Structure 1
């Protein structure tokens, strides 16, 4: 019966003025046509999907999408947005022309590309979820804060997040690189930036420049000694800073020295070699030009007296500021505070800074006083004695030449030891390439599939609409052709009765089915 019902489910659009304008739409006929064209539709849909994917893949492979890499920084200070020197950190330093020039040189590419590459590099970062949650919580505290705790809430809100991981994007099309060359260049650039980073923040170029005394021969002997004394003082201060930062008792595998070893070496050169030469020059009045030497001593004494006055004034101002400084006060409330002082004072960062400045100025003032006494004794000795003999001059020149070798060796050992320390301890993981740039085939196919999904859906929907429309129109033509043929047959027979042959066939089938069911029951 279900089959008969389906067959008889028709929709008739009838014009009331003329029965000949009837249009019959049979659902069963449409379903038959859909089944008839099903295989054709499937074949066309599959072919169209493959062609669409191939076209999208071609566009993906031919289009120069930006390539990306991920880098991170993990040194002390990056969490505050600072570089190792304590200044604001800028990831844009990766665009430094020196870095790009070095990468281009290593790859043998034209240096005229520098500006195009700089404009093709961009950077992005993402705030980790835990940092975002913390900042959101601080905002909630500020919104709910009462007037008594608004300053504390505002202090929490002032907390900022500074990224330590950055995505480096390189627009290949804008830079004029093909895919493979562009990827290779970006990876080379990232490596060259690592070398630049260590040279800028970890190596010792400023130290080498500060202690460079290769041209000491052009000065008088006393001035030569002063040059070496200043250089040794710089080295010792530098080693003291390194030793203060080092909490690993670092011993270099390159030189075999610790920072304390080198500091002791510098003290030995100063107290034995340098002081011996200096005293010999003073006692024997070794000079190239007595008048010039006296003028130099007078100038140094006058300049040091000015420094002494300046340091004394700064020290007095700092002492006054520290004495008058109002320390932060906190109130303590709660159980057990009845018999105790509920107030407590805290030293702020500003107070600590003032105290550190005082210590520094005191050290500078003491050094200035020592230097004044030193140059005064030199001047007085030179004024009261005659010039030294040629033998004394030759001895001083030989001793200073030997001193120069020792200072140069000390500087070299210090630079190598410090570089080893920065590379393998202090900045061992300061800069890392977490994910290098890559353009593997699987990644490109994935991008092609992702890019083609929307297009494939649209194409398949369009094909399905066409498939359904063809089935619908075909069934419509078929059904109305039957109607026309039936009407013509009725006219030829002259039959005046409106007999629906199809209905008659259905009735006969129903009667046959009923008879069959009755037979089965019996």
Structure 2
């Protein structure tokens, strides 16, 4: 009994060891502590490699920036009424490419003493793009996605409702082929954007063409009565313009340049018309002062005939409008009244079309009255010319002097209107309508900043890859070290087991003996 028990004990111990070894082989243990030890061991080499990689990426970004002449960037903004609808101050479609119009580029090159032959090449190197806010982009993208997936009419309507017209624009100047260094290119771009302000004011402020036409009038090329017509037309145009400015001015603007308000200028125009012009006109027409009686009579008759044709057309238009008003039926709405809903009444509703017809009729009547008045005026002149002798040479000399005085006053008034209007648009109406939000910078620090900005993404990617490699290397090393340690321990255990087995065998043999 004792012998049998002794024989079974080594067998049981051997089976237990085999099962334990088998369980260890089937279980994967993550050597967490070994991983941290390996990360600590190789931390300094990883930091050194990461710093070297960052320097390499930065140097590459700087080299790429210098070799490709990274485009200069600036940003401008518009704040006048209508830009949010994509319109210019005159109500027409706004074209951002006017920022780089050839005339502006050419004047900028001239200001900086550069060759104007580069205008076309520089213009093609400038790109302008609208800046759309992120929330608007997200909203448009969402509705577009819904529309494409469902073809929903509501989504399509929403997409149209959130259509966005930019009020800020980014200007990029790829100056690499312009033979400019970065500093010169920045000066050019900033000067160009500054010159655009002048262009903007001239285009949407005072009408320079009107001023030039008025001051360019040479009354000596006309007969005296014809010159009166030129003066009268000029005064009408000037007064209409000043009246428009006055209506749009809610601040009672007074120019620091001229000291005038628009009301002052309007009063000056009225004074020139009612005193100086009226005095000159009465003398010329009252005394029949003319250089050529026969030619003047032909001119008067031509004006009468032309005005009669215009009057006939205006009368026809007025009759058509009056007939349309007579036959026009306003929209009606039936309103039920009473508890039993048996009684009702019709109410006539306002109509924009009807109101527009009334406005057209008023304008047509005004035109008819104006033509009739002008025809009567020219007929009176013609009758006076035919029934009376022409004025003497002395009268002509007096008219020459008086006419020069009136013309000088008129030109001075035009200059005052021009200066006051320019001052108004620059300091009041359009003071903040256009502004350079972010000027271009050609400094070395800015170049470095651009290089740093350009390298951030590749640097982060490179550093992330390096960290992944570092972590994988530490894990692999930890498993290798753990495996070796476990192998050594297993070998020791197996040796110990073999020794114990041998000793047990020896004891068994001794017992048997």
Q: Residues 269-312 of structure 1: CA distance to partner in whole angstroms, max 9, x if unpaired? A: 11222222222122221111111111111111111111111222
Matching residue of 2:132: 126
Q: Which deviates more, 186-195 or 122-131? A: 122-131
Matching residue of 1:220: 223
Matching residue of 2:4: none
Is 1:51 aligned to residue 89 of structure 2? Answer: no
- Report the CA distance between 1:502 and its aligned residue: 7.0
Of residues 253, 257, 260, the one that matches 2:256 is 253
Q: Residues 163-216 of structure 1: CA distance to partner in whole angstroms, max 9, x if unpaired? A: 322222333346565433333322222111111111111123032134235311
Is 1:375 aligned to residue 378 of structure 2? Answer: yes
- The whole-number CA distance in structure 2 between the counterparts of 1:467 and 1:420 is 73
- The whole-number CA distance in structure 2 between the counterparts of 1:104 and 1:10 is 85
Of residues 379, 389, 394, the one that matches 1:391 is 394
Matching residue of 1:516: none
Of residues 101, 105, 114, the one that matches 1:109 is 114
Structure-2 change in CA distance of 1:219 and 1:45 (3 Å)? same
- For residue 349 of structure 2, give the secondary structure of its aligned residue in structure 1: strand
Equivalent runs, 1:8-87 vs 2, <5 Å: 34=38, 38=42, 41-42=45-46, 44-59=48-63, 61-62=65-66, 63-87=68-92
**Equivalent pair of 1:105/1:111 in contact (CA under 8 Å):** yes
- The whole-number CA distance in structure 1 between the counterparts of 2:335 and 2:172 is 53
Matching residue of 1:455: 462
Is 1:285 aligned to residue 288 of structure 2? Answer: yes
**Equivalent pair of 2:287/2:391 in contact (CA under 8 Å):** yes
- The whole-number CA distance in structure 1 between the counterparts of 2:372 and 2:36 is 112
- Report the CA distance between 1:395 and its aligned residue: 0.8
- For residue 169 of structure 1, give the secondary structure of its aligned residue in structure 2: strand
Q: Which deviates more, 67-76 or 382-391? A: 67-76
Q: Which deviates more, 47-56 or 70-79? A: 47-56
**Equivalent pair of 2:104/2:192 in contact (CA under 8 Å):** yes
- The whole-number CA distance in structure 1 between the counterparts of 2:157 and 2:402 is 65
**Equivalent pair of 1:10/1:27 in contact (CA under 8 Å):** no
TM-score by length of 1: 0.75
Is 1:318 aligned to residue 321 of structure 2? Answer: yes
Unaligned runs of 5+ in 1: 1-7, 13-25, 146-152, 484-498, 509-522
Structure-2 change in CA distance of 1:108 and 1:502 (3 Å)? farther
**Equivalent pair of 2:80/2:430 in contact (CA under 8 Å):** yes
- Report the CA distance between 1:416 and its aligned residue: 1.2
Equivalent runs, 1:79-478 vs 2, <5 Å: 79-119=84-124, 120-127=126-133, 129=135, 160-173=163-176, 177-325=180-328, 327=330, 345-348=349-352, 350-438=353-441, 440=446, 441-462=448-469
Structure-2 change in CA distance of 1:464 and 1:168 (3 Å)? same
Q: Which deviates more, 63-72 or 198-207? A: 63-72
- Report the CA distance between 1:107 and its aligned residue: 2.3
Structure-2 change in CA distance of 1:155 and 1:408 (3 Å)? farther
Structure-2 change in CA distance of 1:284 and 1:171 (3 Å)? same
**Equivalent pair of 2:131/2:170 in contact (CA under 8 Å):** yes
**Equivalent pair of 1:81/1:163 in contact (CA under 8 Å):** yes
Structure-2 change in CA distance of 1:115 and 1:333 (3 Å)? farther
- The whole-number CA distance in structure 2 between the counterparts of 1:335 and 1:83 is 54
- The whole-number CA distance in structure 1 between the counterparts of 2:465 and 2:108 is 45
Q: Residues 458-483 of structure 1: CA distance to partner in whole angstroms, max 9, x if unpaired? A: 3454566677778888999x99xx99
- For residue 346 of structure 1, give the secondary structure of its aligned residue in structure 2: coil
Structure-2 change in CA distance of 1:35 and 1:378 (3 Å)? closer
Structure-2 change in CA distance of 1:335 and 1:464 (3 Å)? farther
Q: Over aligned residue pairs, what C-alpha RMSD do you find?
A: 4.4
- For residue 257 of structure 2, give the secondary structure of its aligned residue in structure 1: coil
Count of aligned pairs between the two proteins: 463
- The whole-number CA distance in structure 2 between the counterparts of 1:155 and 1:43 is 53
- The whole-number CA distance in structure 2 between the counterparts of 1:333 and 1:416 is 63
Structure-2 change in CA distance of 1:446 and 1:162 (3 Å)? closer
Q: Residues 381-431 of structure 1: CA distance to partner in whole angstroms, max 9, x if unpaired? A: 111122211111111111101111111111111111111111122112111
**Equivalent pair of 2:31/2:478 in contact (CA under 8 Å):** no
- For residue 215 of structure 2, give the secondary structure of its aligned residue in structure 1: coil
TM-score by length of 2: 0.76
- For residue 397 of structure 1, give the secondary structure of its aligned residue in structure 2: helix
**Equivalent pair of 1:297/1:376 in contact (CA under 8 Å):** yes
- The whole-number CA distance in structure 1 between the counterparts of 2:409 and 2:391 is 26
Q: Residues 13-56 of structure 1: CA distance to partner in whole angstroms, max 9, x if unpaired? A: xxxxxxxxxxxxx9899979947962563354234333333334
